[in-house]
Copies of this chain bind each other. A is one copy, B any other.
């Protein structure tokens, strides 16, 4: 991390921007839909790290774009990420009772509303960019290009495929190739899309986009490996969820197929390679460099 960037101040500023936009995009409802909207808001405002929105805004700023223009994409990414957590936690999926130190959606609202809250967040997330474009707040061509990237990363060629293979692999002996597939699809794709969708809205050149995509993919993999490591030796109170659950469920993780030491080594290598992909970018990419460092040392 460059000495002249105060990451904490940067994150705080961006998170404030994102929180405001999320609140505006999903106010409480006063008609009969109140309960499902409450469920959507319960998970959306549950103290998430807002990593994907921050990456999106940092991605647009890295190519000289304005964070304001990329806000609809940032909001979209956080809503899509939140929907995926709600559905992943369902009894039929990972059957998790706690997330971020609070009971999961289906524990509070029941399974039906949890499914619907996820559906609602996914739909509202994917509506953000067209809504901004239709209202004249964003070039509709940029909105389409950015949404294309986000939707591909979220769908059956991305996150949905990763979660499907994750579930199918539970309790089975799988190789590193399957763990790679799961991580790249389940986590890596949307993290990469966060950076590149922001860059698209900032009118990145093809070369910039290629390098930011590489940064995002490496960062996403590092992020998920660290997640696996925290799942083994993290602190339950800090994480807000139990430790050791992955092993109990027979989840396909890096520590499982490669061992804890090699997993840690791989996370370091991926982070270094992510930063390397930013060579050629000036100080405007410092937030992206700092996030890479943060991902490696994070405790939750």
Q: Taking beta carbons and an 8 Å cutoff, which residues of A are in contact with B? A: 29, 31-33, 35-37, 40, 83, 87, 90, 92-93, 110-113, 115-116, 118-120, 122-124, 126-127, 129-131, 133-134, 140-141, 143-145, 147-148, 151-152, 154-157, 160-161, 163-165, 167-168, 178, 181, 185
Query: Closest approach, in angstroms, between the C-beta of A69 and any C-beta of chain B?
Result: 15
Which of A29, A112, A120, A143 has the most C-beta atoms of chain B within 10 angstroms of its own C-beta? Answer: A112
Given contacts A92-B112, A116-B163, A161-B36, contact A141 B133 (CB under 8 A): yes
Contact status A148-B134, CB under 8 Å: yes
Beta-carbon contact of B126 and A151 below 8 Å: yes
Shortest Cβ gap from A149 to chain B (Å): 9
Name the distance in Å between A104's Cβ and chain B's nearest Cβ: 14
Q: Assess A122 versus B119: contact at CB under 8 Å? Given A33-B157, A33-B165, A168-B35.
A: yes
B147 pairs with A130, CB closer than 8 A: yes
In the complex, A120→B93 CA distance in Å? 15
A116 and B164 in contact, given A130-B143, A144-B140 (Cβ under 8 angstroms): yes
Complex CA gap A231/B93 in Å reads 32
Q: Which residues from chain B contact A167 at a C-beta distance below 8 Å?
A: 112-113, 116
Instruction: Name the residue on B nearest A182 (C-beta).
Output: B32
User: Assuming A115-B92, A133-B141, A143-B140, is B164 touching A151 (CB within 8 A)?
Assistant: no
> Once the chains bind, are B151 and A127 in contact (CB under 8 Å)?
yes
Q: Which of B37, B145, B165 contacts A134 (CB 8 A)?
A: B145
6 contacts between A and B (CB under 8 A): A35-B164, A36-B156, A90-B115, A112-B167, A119-B119, A134-B148
In the bound complex, what is the Cα–Cα distance between A116 and B164 (angstroms)?
7
Q: Which of A31, A110, A161 has the most CB of B within 10 A?
A: A161
Pair B144/A124 contact, Cβ less than 8 Å: no
Do the beta carbons of A147 and B161 come within 8 Å of each other? no
Q: How far does the alpha carbon of A93 sit from the alpha carbon of B113 in the complex, in Å?
A: 9
Known: A93-B112, A111-B92. A33 touches B144 (CB 8 A): no
